[in-house]
Amino acid sequence: MIERINLAHLPTPIEALPRLSSLLNGPKIYIKRDDQTGLAMGGNKTRKLEFLLADALAQGAKLLLSAGAVQSNHCRQVAAAAARYGLGCTLILTGEPPAQADGNLLLDKILGAQIIFTSRENRDRLLQETYAQAEAAGQSPYLIPYGGSNATGALAYAAAFEEMMNQGMQPDWVIFASSSGGTQAGMILGAHITGFKGKILGISVDVHTETLQQTVAPLVAAAAQKRGMQVDCAPTDVLVNADYIGRGYGIMGQGEIEAIELFARNEGILLDPVYTGRAASGMIDLVREGQFKPGEKLLFWHTGGTPALFAQKYSRELSRAV
């Protein structure tokens, strides 16, 4: 039996985006609001943590340990889940500590996480060292992978895909931000479980197509095994578009700024500058290029992240641009 705890506000709503659809003069666009999962401002990681934290508690964990960027949405939600269940939380964040905490980093601190800053090159080594030290100190640590993306975490988006189908939504395309691969792997498994006939397109925010495909495919098979299934997924079965990485992870460009503005001013929906802003920018560009048929349904899956809007790194540039 697959263990799961309740953290998220589910099911998250699906909404039509009529004004954006009309503006782009293309297919009908809908949105799945996983920015409303509820845990400390929500996001897709809350779903993953329902499975990961259940596993941690079953193992008697007293400390959650994970890693991410300074403005990591994943780390914010790990910190919130730890607080909710009375566990310790240590976060390894890659980057320089800012003069003043803001955005997700401020929330990490409010939620009580211990924060250790390091370089990306030293992150994995420091994670293992911190885990070993916590274990030696009797803290019973539980290591949550980057982005919550392992077979256990991927189960969450298989369940989420079933949730979408049970809401009566059967789009021709599901489009979302893809990075560490767990969300996309879960969706592919969910599509297999439900018999979904549409296409699942991950807009990469940071890694090239082949790299992400090689990450996602084995996660699909591993997550399927946890559900007592055998699903063969070749890397070429994973649809990825990496044309919108721009200058790299976490570097906001004109595409992200335009997407944030269009969603806000036409639908009253806030996107973030790192993940959903980039994915929406890609979707908008593909619509303009005529990549979708006029009668098709597009579901944009909002994976959260809006606290990053309030980080000075992004807010200064946005305030000048909008």
What's the pTM? 0.97
In terms of phi and psi (left: phi > 0; alpha: psi -120 to 50; beta: otherwise), the region of 101 is beta
Predicted confidence band of residue 283 (pLDDT cuts 50, 70, 90): very high
Whole-number Å distance between alpha carbons of 307 and 76: 10
Predicted confidence band of residue 2 (pLDDT cuts 50, 70, 90): confident
Could you read off the pLDDT of 118-149 as tens digits, one per residue? 999 999 999 999 999 999 999 999 999 999 99
Could you read off the pLDDT of 13-30 as tens digits, one per residue? 999 999 999 999 999 999
184-188 average pLDDT score: 98
Could you read off the pLDDT of 54-91 as tens digits, one per residue? 999 999 999 999 999 999 999 999 999 999 999 999 99
Residue 1: what pLDDT? 64
The percent of residues above 90 in pLDDT, for the chain, comes to 97
178: amino acid identity, one letter: S
Tell me the fold of 14-43+149-321.
Rossmann fold (3.40.50)
Could you read off the pLDDT of 37-46 as tens digits, one per residue? 999 999 999 9
In this structure, what token pair is assigned to residue 43?
Answer: 């996001």
Domain with CATH 3.40.50.1100 in the chain: 14-43+149-321, 44-148
Predicted confidence band of residue 258 (pLDDT cuts 50, 70, 90): very high
β-bridge partners, 16:
30
Could you read off the pLDDT of 191-216 as tens digits, one per residue? 999 999 999 999 999 999 999 999 99
CATH classification (class only), 44-148: alpha beta
**Buried-exposed string 158-173: b where 16+ CB fall within 10 A, e elsewhere:** bbbbbbbbeeeeebbb
Average pLDDT, the chain: 97
pLDDT at residue 294 greater than cutoff 90: no
Known catalytic residue at 22: no
Residue 321: what pLDDT? 86
**Buried-exposed string 97-108: b where 16+ CB fall within 10 A, e elsewhere:** ebeebbbbbbbb
Of 21, 22, 66, 72, the catalytic one is: 72
Give the strand pairing for 173-178 and 199-204.
parallel
Give the strand pairing for 297-302 and 63-69.
unpaired
256-281 average pLDDT score: 98
**What is the 3-state composition of the chain as percent helix, strand, coil, each rounded to the nearest 5?**
50, 15, 35
Residue 44: what pLDDT? 97
Which residues lie closer than 8 Å to 121 by C-beta, 6 or more apart?
none
